[in-house]
């Protein structure tokens, strides 16, 4: 049988072992720290900065080293609410900004500033007012890239001592007052109407130019065609005359044949209702005289005993 004193002693030993085991477990838990990737941890030893923990397994001295909240080392995107800014021409515009920054030094981001997000926001607002305050409304609306570049340079230089790097600054929106927006819309509408009128006039002008050019080309082609046709007709007539002349020259016709051809041509002169006056060449008169003499000689031989009729000389009155 165990006496009460021995039982109490054994119970004390068991309790002591349990407490010791719990202490060992707590010590192990406090001495082992696992830091995730893209994070960094600042360790303080007896209240002072000791080191910065890198991602992975790290060992600390329990109850002496203290790990501060982990710092996110990834690039962060912060959108600030719209801020009223007065331009150089005394107009109040509302500007909405977005900043892309990254923590490069966990120690500086922890000890150099209490809240680096609030510091970046206030620094962005003041810098934005300084930059946009030197521009009028039109310059502010058309110079976003310039404003973004100036903001990034100023913010990056100012936040460098905080262990931050500002990568980009973007202006999401620049909203002028409603009255100015109405005036801008009217101006844009008038500009669009003016451009439409100019484009319409330019199109009409180009169409008229093309039509005139087409008419000119058509007239030129028509004149060239008429000229070529006249040349071809003249060449054909010349060739026909040459052919007829050559045939006449080869045939060597006598005056009787020529007189007969003249007589064959006379009916053609009478064609047409408007032919009231004939112009008879002298050659035709001479040819008819030859024909008349020929027929007269033939009549005298047939009637030797009859009266002789002399032909009427040309130009005489019968």
What is the per-residue pLDDT for 74?
Answer: 93
What is the per-residue pLDDT for 271?
Answer: 64
- In whole angstroms, give the CA distance from residue 53 to residue 66: 11
- In whole angstroms, give the CA distance from residue 61 to residue 54: 16
What is the per-residue pLDDT for 314?
Answer: 44
Angular region, 90: left φ>0, alpha ψ -120 to 50, beta rest: left
Q: How many CA atoms lie within 13 A of 20 on its CB side?
A: 6
Burial of residue 50 (number of CB atoms within 10 Å: 0-12, 13-18, 19+): middle
**Structure-token match 């080869």, residue found:** 250
- pTM of the predicted structure, to 2 decimals: 0.53
* Token output for 65: 């080293």
Element (H, E) at 96: strand 92-103
Helical residues (DSSP H) of 160-303, grouped into ranges: 178-251, 255-269, 282-302
What is the per-residue pLDDT for 36?
Answer: 93
| Domains, in order of start, for the chain | 8-71 (no CATH), 74-176 (3.30.479.30)
What is the per-residue pLDDT for 306?
Answer: 41
Q: What b/e string do you get for 200-226 counting C-beta neighbours within 10 Å, with b at 16 or more? A: eeeeeeeeeeeeeeeeeeeeeeeeeee
What is the per-residue pLDDT for 252?
Answer: 65
Pairing of strands 71-72, 75-86: unpaired
* Three-state secondary-structure class, residue 318: coil
Q: Which residues of the chain have pLDDT under 70?
A: 1-2, 7, 181, 184, 248-249, 251-318
- In whole angstroms, give the CA distance from residue 83 to residue 93: 8
What is the per-residue pLDDT for 41?
Answer: 92
């Amino acid at each position: 049988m165990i006496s009460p004193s021995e039982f109490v002693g054994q119970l004390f030993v068991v309790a002591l072992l349990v407490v010791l085991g719990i202490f060992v477990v707590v010590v192990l838990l406090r001495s082992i720290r696992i830091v995730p990737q893209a994070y960094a941890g600042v360790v303080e030893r007896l209240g002072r900065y000791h080191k910065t923990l890198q991602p992975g397994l790290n060992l600390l001295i329990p109850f002496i080293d203290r790990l501060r909240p982990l710092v996110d080392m990834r690039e962060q995107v912060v959108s600030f609410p719209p801020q009223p800014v007065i331009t150089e021409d005394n107009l109040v515009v509302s500007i909405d900004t977005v900043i892309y920054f990254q923590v490069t030094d966990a120690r500086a981001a922890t000890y150099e500033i209490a809240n680096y997000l609030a510091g970046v926001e206030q620094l962005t607002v003041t810098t934005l007012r300084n930059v946009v305050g030197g521009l009028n409304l039109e310059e502010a609306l058309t110079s976003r890239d310039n404003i973004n570049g100036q903001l990034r340079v100023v913010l990056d230089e100012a936040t460098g001592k905080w262990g931050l790097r500002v990568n980009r600054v973007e202006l999401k929106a620049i909203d002028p007052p409603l009255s100015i927006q109405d005036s801008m819309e009217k101006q844009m509408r008038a500009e669009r109407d003016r451009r439409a009128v100019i484009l319409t006039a330019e199109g009409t002008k180009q169409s008229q130019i093309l039509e005139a050019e087409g008419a000119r080309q058509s007239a030129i082609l028509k004149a060239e065609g008429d000229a070529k046709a006249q040349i071809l007709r003249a060449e054909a007539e010349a060739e026909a005359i040459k052919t007829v002349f050559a045939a006449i020259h080869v045939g060597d016709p006598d005056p009787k044949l020529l007189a007969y051809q003249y007589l064959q041509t006379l009916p053609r002169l009478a064609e047409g209702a408007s032919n009231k006056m004939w112009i008879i060449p002298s050659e035709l008169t001479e040819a008819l005289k030859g024909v008349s003499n020929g027929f007269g000689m033939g009549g005298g031989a047939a009637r030797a005993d009859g009266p002789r009729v002399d032909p009427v000389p040309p130009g005489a009155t019968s």
